[in-house]
Amino acid sequence: MRATLLRVAWWSILLGLGMEIILVGVAAGAGQLLALKPILADLVQKVSWSVMVCMGLAVGTAAAKARPAVMGLAGLMAAPLAFHAARALHKSAVQALAIAGPAATPPSVLTLAVIKALEYACLGALIAWLSKRGASVKAYVAVGLVLGALTGAIIVGLGAAAGAKPPMAALLVRVVNELLFPVGCSLVLFAAETMGRSRSA
């Protein structure tokens, strides 16, 4: 279990770093060039979120031997905790770097936390279900994509209903972020589980 959690931690850090690189590229492609300090503040948020939520699911997997109900509960608990912790660390980084934080846009922080809790509860339960059946990596990717697309659509839809009109670059970044992060977390857990099985064989 300790070796598995250590692998998940390292791969989650790489996931957060990779996501930030992708999102900076998406923003640049949409005509929004970001300065170094905002990128560093966002990187703190991405890495902390990635590590905490993937580690929460990994603990659920290791402790419960991938039981869907327990994995769902792990995701339900880990996601809002990781969400608020990542926001707090991002705010601290913004203050430390003496830069302006991003403007708040709908939906509210509470609504986002609830959405994330439900999303990662579903992700945890589905990953456990796939693990029990020895599913391929394609199934893990598909689950992440479907949940990411559904969550992204809900968040963007709620924002639009509340009258939010973010710049196109910011909208693209949010959509890509919501779409790819569940995929990345699914792949981290799949890789950790596969490596653990190969080492125990």
Ordered by start, the domain boundaries in the chain are 2-200
Q: What is the three-state SS of the chain? A: CHHHHHHHHHHHHHHHHHHHHHHHHHHHHCCCCCCHHHHHHHHHHHHHHHHHHHHHHHHHHHHHCCCHHHHHHHHHHHHHHHHHHHHHHHHHHHHHCCCCCCCCCCCCHHHHHHHHHHHHHHHHHHHHHHHHCCCCHHHHHHHHHHHHHHHHHHHHHHHHHCCCCCCHHHHHHHHHHHHHHHHHHHHHHHHHHHHHHHHHC
Query: Based on the number of CB atoms within 10 Å of its own CB, is 134 exposed (0-12), middle (13-18) or buried (19 or more)?
Result: exposed
In the numeric block, which tokens belong to residue 169?
Answer: 């670059």
Inter-CA distances, 183 with 69, 142, 149, 193, 199, Å: 20, 8, 10, 15, 24
pTM score, two decimals? 0.92
Average pLDDT for residues 47-71, to the nearest whole number? 84
Cα separation, 142 vs 139, in Å, equals 5
Instruction: Classify residue 30 by burial, with Cβ atoms within 10 Å: 0-12, 13-18, 19+.
Output: middle
Would you state the pLDDT for residue 162? 86
Q: pLDDT digits over 94-138, tens only?
A: 899 888 777 777 889 999 999 999 999 999 999 999 988 889 999
pLDDT for the residue 64: 57
Q: Supply the pLDDT for residue 102.
A: 74
* Other Cβ atoms within 10 Å of 199 Cβ, number: 9
Q: What is the pLDDT of residues 65-85, one digit of tens each?
A: 667 888 888 999 999 999 999
Distance of CA 199 to the CA centre of its chain: 27
